[in-house]
């Protein structure tokens, strides 16, 4: 699956960025991370798993972006829409792209302000020592926050992006429909995790970048631990939560399954979860705020303070959070998760998760509709 | 598969770090990235796939490390050997761990120098805006390079770490032995990629974090592009290169397969590749330099300047590079790849890759020995 969209899509993204750059007086934007560089160039590769080489893209105030990248990536970059590709033989101890980046920034930005994503969720994917050398070398130009431009652009998805997420959701749905093949009492959660990833691949995932889950008679405790070799037990509720990708876009939702007859408290919690995610979906529309969705779900599931969903796209989680403190206003094209949790007992909860897209008039599910009753295996 | 080792292993790592910190006058080390935090704490989770929350570990000049982390990770962290866990409800707009980290650094480091990995391959996994706030708030303490302490420690693996990498290699070997089940003329490379990941999981991989490859009659061009839907053709040579993990440690090696009868030029190149990796293995011993291994292989495979291998461990690539400019001296316990490449024609090469560990007297293969003849499917 290629990462490319039509060149018009990338041109539109860059044009939007440049309009906002003009409003904020930015002479350029400098990008160093995978999703940001892919958003602008379409450059899709699993090679980012290797930390050995830094990669840079510079968006000028006008004109097409410039890729300043290791030579190993130049052929793939050249297959996309970017024509100005400046490559060096990396890794190159002592000057790993620094002088090439400095030269590029100087020519593009002069002595102006260069925006860089450096707010929430951002990372600096280059050695800090080299970043400081770049900063010193480009003076009087300065590197400043990008005023949230990149995060703002990425938050509102195009139809082509939404289609990829929906396809990822459908792949996950087909894998979830086959969980009965792999999960039964006596099998370990570790074996189920391995097999579920296999099912995702069989159903068409490009890769399975994330998998979490848990199991227990009244739910599960934390949902970020690796699976153990402890066997599933009759009466357990099993949860699998996957972030698989299709064409560089994630789905991120979970499904719960009862191994035999679930405890009454589990059934009751399950119905509250469904009620809560229904309420989140009903509250989701243009003009509503992230915190409004949180309130709608929190009033039903009764957790206190926890995050009940987040933005979704090129990353497993990105952008807004469904928390009390996030007042981001929803717009058509935003894709997010609804992720209510209900405590069943001390240290045991259930979590349900759906993926939705904000439409002109409300919202619709991207993940296949969950069963109203807790499915039994 | 749990990420933990015996507490003694972590204590020994920290003790080594603290000895070097004393030599370099560092009052603390601050860590923000997954492998560095896992190296010190054993904290293993796929949750790092989510960029929403920063994570911090502080190694004091004496005493145990302190975890300053999002509350969602506290239960998993508490299962390991770290007892001082300071958690906040993340994401928390406006103060996402900043004040908790500042308070911790102040109490640990006073007005001293705080080391941070900021050299080659390092990244800053926290918003730069927040990092600058931390720097300002801890003055007169300063954040300085860690003098390569963390990279130096990680480069020399313990017996327990080497065992994990060797197990990952064995899992990959069993998957490679089954490539005949999934690859044949007419099938697309994309389908083979998906199926090979499935084989890796069936053979015991925790996950398949990296997969690259290529196919063509005289080899392949770039090896970082995603697979396409173009079908394999009789006479192609197919290469698959995997970075699967076991207990948080990677293998990273490839295997080549001829689809039917390979071109004579491919056969000839293949034998040069084997000769080159043999030469790399023969040159690998304590006291030899990374560039010596590069020279030994480059003299045979005749590429000019490219990287012919790298360190391996908690990351797909880490530490030294087998390039002319890297004079790192090899020590027992270092794990690396030998990755010679031979050009067959314009835009078509073969790459062969093995994983090795430096021993007291030389080196030994961790990846199962490759066939001396190019395997045919």
Has residue A1 got a pLDDT over 90? no
> What does the DSSP assignment read for A146-207?
-TTHHHHHHHB--HHHHHHHHHHHHHHHHHHTTGGGT--TTSBHHHHHHHHHHHHHHTT-SE
The number of beta carbons lying within 10 Å of the beta carbon of residue A202 is 15
User: Where in chain A is CATH 3.90.230.10?
Assistant: 159-365
- Which residues of chain B make contact with A73, given a CB cutoff of 8 A? 224
ipTM summary value: 0.96
Alpha-carbon separation of residue A87 from A37, B122, B310, B349 (angstroms): 15, 20, 21, 20
B46 CB within 8 Å of a chain A CB: yes
Orientation angle between helical segments A264-283 and A290-301, nearest 10 degrees: 160
Distance CA(A74)–CA(A81), nearest Å, equals 12
Compute the C-alpha angle A221/B50/A5, nearest 5°. Answer: 140
Write out pLDDT tens, residues B132-148.
Answer: 999 999 999 999 999 99
Question: Which tens digit of pLDDT belongs to each residue from A67-107?
Answer: 999 999 999 999 999 999 999 999 999 999 999 999 999 99
3-state secondary structure of B266: helix
| Residue ranges of chain A that CATH labels 3.40.350.10 | 7-154
Q: Is A126 on the interface with B (CB under 8 A)?
A: yes
Question: pLDDT class for B304, splitting at 50, 70, 90?
Answer: low
Residues B166-207 have pLDDT tens digits of 999 999 999 999 999 999 999 999 999 999 999 999 999 999
pLDDT value at residue A2: 46
A residues 300-319 closer than 8 Å to B (CB): 305-307, 310, 315-318
- Using DSSP, state whether B265 is helix, strand or coil: helix
Cα distance between residue A193 and residue A171, in whole Å: 16
Per-residue model confidence (pLDDT) at position A3:
55
Q: Which of A78, A118, A223 to mutate to test the interface with B (most CBs of B within 10 A)?
A: A118
For chain B, what percent of residues have pLDDT higher than 70?
98
Nearest chain B residue to A322, by CA: B91
Q: Å from A169 to nearest chain B CA? A: 17
Preferred mutation among A38, A142, A147, A207 to probe B, highest tally of B CBs within 10 A:
A207
CB < 8 Å from B in window 183-212 of A: 190, 193-195, 197-198, 201-202, 204-212
Fold of the domain built from segment(s) A159-365: Creatine Amidinohydrolase (3.90.230)
Neighbours of B107 (CB within 10 A): 12
Q: Are the Cβ atoms of A93 and B209 closer than 8 angstroms?
A: no
Residues 133-172 of B with CB under 8 A from A: 145
Contact B222 A72 (CB under 8 A): yes
Mean pLDDT for the stretch of residues A24-50: 97
- How far is Cα B6 from Cα B80, in angstroms, rounded to an integer? 9
B111 touches A at CB < 8 Å: no
| A138-181 tens-digit pLDDT | 999 999 999 999 999 999 999 999 999 999 999 999 999 999 99
Q: Could you give the CA distance from residue B364 to residue A76 in angstroms, rounded to a whole number?
A: 35
Query: What is the CATH T-level fold of the domain B7-154, as seen in this structure?
Result: Creatine Amidinohydrolase; Chain A, domain 1 (3.40.350)
Of A127, A190, A210, the CB nearest to B119: A127
Q: Is the pLDDT of residue B3 over 60?
A: no
Euclidean distance between CA atoms B223 and B238, whole angstroms: 11
B77, B55 Cβ separation under 8 angstroms: no
Q: Say if CB A52 and CB B310 are below 8 A apart.
A: yes
pLDDT value of residue A12: 97
């Amino acid at each position: 699956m290629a990462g490319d969209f039509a060149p018009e899509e990338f041109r539109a993204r860059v044009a939007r960025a440049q309009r906002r750059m003009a409003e904020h007086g930015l002479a350029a934007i400098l990008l160093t991370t995978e999703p940001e560089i892919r958003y602008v160039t379409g450059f899709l590769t699993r090679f980012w798993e290797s930390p050995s080489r830094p990669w840079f893209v510079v968006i000028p105030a006008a004109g097409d972006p410039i890729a300043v990248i290791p030579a190993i990536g130049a052929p793939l970059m050249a297959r996309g829409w970017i024509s100005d590709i400046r490559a060096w033989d990396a890794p190159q101890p002592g000057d790993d792209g620094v002088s090439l980046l400095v030269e590029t920034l100087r020519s593009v930005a002069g002595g102006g302000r260069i925006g860089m994503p450096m707010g929430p969720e951002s990372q600096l994917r280059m050695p800090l020592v080299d970043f400081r050398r770049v900063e010193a070398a480009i003076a009087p130009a300065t590197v400043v926050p990008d005023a949230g431009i990149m995060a703002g652009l990425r938050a509102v998805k195009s139809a082509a992006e939404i289609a990829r997420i929906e396809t990822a959701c459908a792949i996950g749905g087909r894998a979830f429909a086959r969980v009965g093949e792999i999960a039964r009492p006596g099998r370990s959660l570790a074996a189920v995790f391995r097999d579920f990833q296999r099912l995702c691949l069989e159903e068409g995932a490009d890769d399975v970048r994330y998998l979490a889950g848990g199991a227990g008679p009244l739910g599960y405790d934390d949902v970020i631990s690796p699976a153990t070799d402890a066997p599933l037990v009759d009466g357990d509720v099993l949860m699998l939560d996957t972030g698989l990708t299709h064409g560089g876009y994630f789905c991120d939702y979970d499904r719960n399954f009862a191994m035999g007859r679930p405890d009454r408290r589990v059934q009751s919690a399950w119905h509250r979860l469904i009620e809560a995610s229904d309420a989140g979906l009903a509250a989701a529309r243009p003009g509503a705020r992230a915190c409004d969705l949180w309130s709608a779900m929190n009033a039903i599931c009764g957790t206190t303070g926890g995050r009940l969903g987040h933005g979704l796209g090129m990353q497993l989680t990105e952008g807004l959070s469904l928390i009390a403190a996030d007042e981001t206003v929803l717009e058509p094209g935003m894709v997010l998760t609804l992720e209510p949790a209900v405590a069943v007992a001390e240290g045991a909860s259930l979590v349900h998760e759906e993926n939705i897209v904000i439409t002109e008039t409300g919202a619709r599910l991207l993940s296949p509709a969950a069963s109203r009753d807790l499915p039994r295996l």
